[in-house]
Amino acid sequence: MDGEQLPMQEIRRKYVIPGDKIIEGNFRPLSNVIRSGNMLIATRIGIAEVGRDGAKVIPLSGVYIPRVNDLVIGKIIDHSSLSWEVDINSCFSAHLPAQDVFGRDFSPARDDMSKHLAIGDMITARILAFDRTRDPMLTLQEKDLGKIPRGELLKISATRVPRLIGKRGSMIQTIEQATQTRVLIGQNGIVVVTGRNSEGTKLAVRAIRMVEEEAHTANLTQKIRALLNVPETTQEQAPNTAPPKSQEVETAIEEVEEELEVEKGEKL
């Protein structure tokens, strides 16, 4: 994502708080922006961005708002006879239909739901449907989705997720390689770290906490490398020597590419 790849038209960015006017004129209100007369108004605190296709605000803080196709990590908090209720670290609690797990011939009388997923279990799931009039619906129908058997649990702000992943996954790859761990990141800010030894896991947790706390600062990858004692020479090799990324992380990376544009903007 170099400067040359930016759209021809200038992209204007500024920090806004809810209620701030972003711009006047015939622009399309995108995420976290509403139209009031001829003005576009921010509805969240963050960086306003006005581009060719309209105006949007990349939030800097706030709760996770589900989006269809997001990969999330959730906690089973209850179940009825037909679905599980999942806490996805949002103001909405999600539902996972029992049919999604047991198949179409699911029978509440025959199948024991709590045997499959009990209250307190953590799952990786994808958001199948969400339109704000109904609670988000989840699915596990994909490779790598389902119950998380082990790992250390962490909660970070959902707005820090793109920073934790880094450009094309650079940040998370650095952390994973240096600490010999595997880091699973949900778009909702829940992170699960699994490692071969507890020292590596502890170090990874420290690094993730540092990313969360200093997400707004420049040269964060260098700071993380210093924390993890990664020599600078591996910087260039890192993407090549990296083990193949899991599908979750890959997808997550794609999903945040848009936001990464903003990070670049901050540095500029």
Partner 1 sequence: MSSSRRSAIIVEHLRKQQMWDAISKSKRLDGRDFGELRPLEIELDIIKKANGSARVKLGDTEVIAGVKVETGEPFEGLENKGALIVSAEVLPVASPHVEPGPPDEETVELARVVDRGIRESEMIDLEKLVLVPGKVVYTVFVDCSVINADGNLFDATSYAVVSALLSSKLPVFEMQDGKVTDTGRTQETPITTIPVSLTAVRIGDVVLVDPTAEEEACMDARITITTNSKGEFCALQKGHTGSFTIDQIKKAAEASRVKGEEIRAKIVELTGYGK
Footprint on this chain of partner 1 (rule: CB under 8 A) = 75, 77, 87, 118-122, 148, 150-153, 192
Nearer to partner 1, 1 or 118 (CB): 118
- Paired tokens of 37: 């007369």
Q: Is 159 left (phi over 0), alpha (psi -120 to 50) or beta?
A: alpha
Nearer to partner 1, 87 or 214 (CB): 87
CB of 192 to partner 1, least distance (A): 7
CA distances 248 to 12, 60, 113, 144, 241, Å, are 32, 23, 25, 7, 19
Distance CA 32, CA 9 (A): 22
Distance CA 191, CA 147 (A): 14
Longest pairwise C-alpha distance within the chain: 61
Nearer to partner 1, 42 or 117 (CB): 117
Q: What is the DSSP letter of 105?
A: T
CB of 196 to partner 1, least distance (A): 15
CB of 122 to partner 1, least distance (A): 5
Nearer to partner 1, 77 or 140 (CB): 77
CB of 153 to partner 1, least distance (A): 5
